[in-house]
């Protein structure tokens, strides 16, 4: 998808002489573009799949380009050729690997697709400071494959209801918030950053109706909201110590009250690893967390 490749390269803002690490060689095309701009000696690209890496090497060679193509796990970066001025990942992550920050010069830029468990994803553009903090805004929506080690590994949903039939002993209620109004990519992102351990599934019914299922990764609670056309309110069932539909609804209403901000009003700050903060407009305005996940 050339528009995505070029918008991410634009966000990377490379300058002549920059030393760049790419994670996810794939076809080798992005690496070739970087080589064209910076010279082969300044480009290192890491691919986890040896056969993909070998094909990319062949293609690059045929184009008279010879960046270092490393077979390895890009989640740990590539320490041997560090530090880097720019790091670009072309597979998405759920947390920023601390190795990327450790292998970056102060002032370096990291561009990577980032997304919460619930859904929604955007390209994050982080600048690394001298203290090892990486911070910056998202620059646009994306939908990449996850870096192999960052795949979500969600618990199977039959662990929630076991063999019992819906609605088991769930508390029933109704809501005026349509499940259809919470499914946009940006809305899912806004929900996901506020409820980091939430995930969902949909089961389809007749005539366009469906059931939105909510679960937490800790396997403590579940909820459903039933969508049907031409309805003004919708049936909800919630089970377990957490009220997952209420958490989702609170997250949605916060996002709505903020003026339904798009990806580019959100930002991320992290030292790498599982601890991070997502913020709106400025780093001192963190998004609220609905439940300690």
Smallest distance from ligand SAM to CB 27, Å: 3
Return the exposure string of 81-91: e unless at least 16 CB atoms fall within 10 Å of the residue's CB, then b.
Answer: bbebbbbbbbb
Report the site for ligand SAM in 38-97 (rule: CB under 6 A).
46-49, 52, 73-75, 90-91
Report the site for ligand SAM in 198-237 (rule: CB under 6 A).
none
| N-term to C-term CA, the chain | 35
Determine the interface stretch with ligand SAM among 104-112, 142-150, 252-260, 279-287 (rule: CB under 6 A). 142-150
CA nearest to 105, candidates 132, 70, 126, 136: 132
- Nearer to ligand SAM by C-beta: 145 or 154? 145
- Nearer to ligand SAM by C-beta: 20 or 236? 20
Cross-strand pairs, 239:
222
Label residue 199 exposed, middle or buried (CB < 10 Å: 0-12, 13-18, 19+): buried
Strands (E), the chain: 20-23, 43-47, 68-71, 84-89, 104-114, 122-128, 134-141, 171-175, 198-204, 210-216, 222-227, 234-239, 266-270, 276-280
Determine the interface stretch with ligand SAM among 23-31, 58-66, 130-138, 202-210 (rule: CB under 6 A). 23-31
Selected binder of ligand SAM within 50, 145, 164, 202 (CB under 6 A): 145
- Nearer to ligand SAM by C-beta: 26 or 267? 26
Strands (E), 68-209: 68-71, 84-89, 104-114, 122-128, 134-141, 171-175, 198-204
- Nearer to ligand SAM by C-beta: 74 or 192? 74
13 binding ligand SAM? (CB under 6 A) = no
Selected binder of ligand SAM within 20, 23, 110, 188 (CB under 6 A): 23
Residues in the site for ligand SAM, rule: CB under 6 A?
23-27, 29-30, 46-49, 52, 73-75, 90-91, 144-145, 147-149
């Amino acid at each position: 998808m050339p528009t995505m490749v070029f918008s991410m390269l634009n966000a990377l803002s490379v300058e002549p002489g920059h030393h760049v690490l790419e994670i996810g060689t794939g076809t080798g095309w992005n690496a070739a573009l970087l080589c064209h701009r910076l010279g082969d000696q300044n480009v290192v690209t890491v691919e986890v799949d040896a056969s993909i890496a070998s094909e990319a090497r062949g293609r690059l060679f045929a184009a008279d380009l010879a960046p270092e193509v490393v077979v390895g796990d890009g989640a740990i970066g590539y320490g041997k050729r560090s530090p880097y001025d720019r790091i670009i990942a072309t597979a998405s992550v759920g947390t920023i690997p601390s190795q990327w920050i450790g292998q970056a010069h102060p002032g370096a830029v990291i561009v990577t697709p980032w997304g919460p468990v619930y859904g929604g994803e955007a390209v994050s553009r982080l600048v690394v400071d001298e203290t090892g903090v990486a911070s910056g805004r998202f620059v646009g929506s994306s939908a990449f494959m996850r870096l192999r080690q960052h795949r979500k590994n969600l618990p199977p949903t039959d662990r929630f209801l076991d063999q019992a039939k819906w609605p088991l002993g769930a508390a029933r209620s109704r809501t005026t918030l349509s499940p259809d109004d919470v499914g946009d990519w940006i809305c899912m992102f806004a929900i996901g950053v506020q409820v980091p351990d939430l995930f969902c599934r949909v089961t389809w019914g007749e005539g366009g109706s469906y059931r939105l299922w909510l679960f937490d990764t800790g396997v403590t609670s579940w909820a459903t909201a039933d969508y049907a056309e031409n309805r003004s309110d919708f049936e909800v069932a919630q089970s377990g110590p957490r009220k997952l539909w209420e958490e989702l609804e609170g997250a949605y209403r916060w996002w709505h009250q903020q003026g339904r901000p798009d990806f580019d009003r959100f930002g991320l700050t992290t030292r790498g690893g599982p601890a991070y903060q997502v913020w709106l407009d400025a780093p001192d305005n963190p998004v609220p967390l609905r439940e300690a996940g």
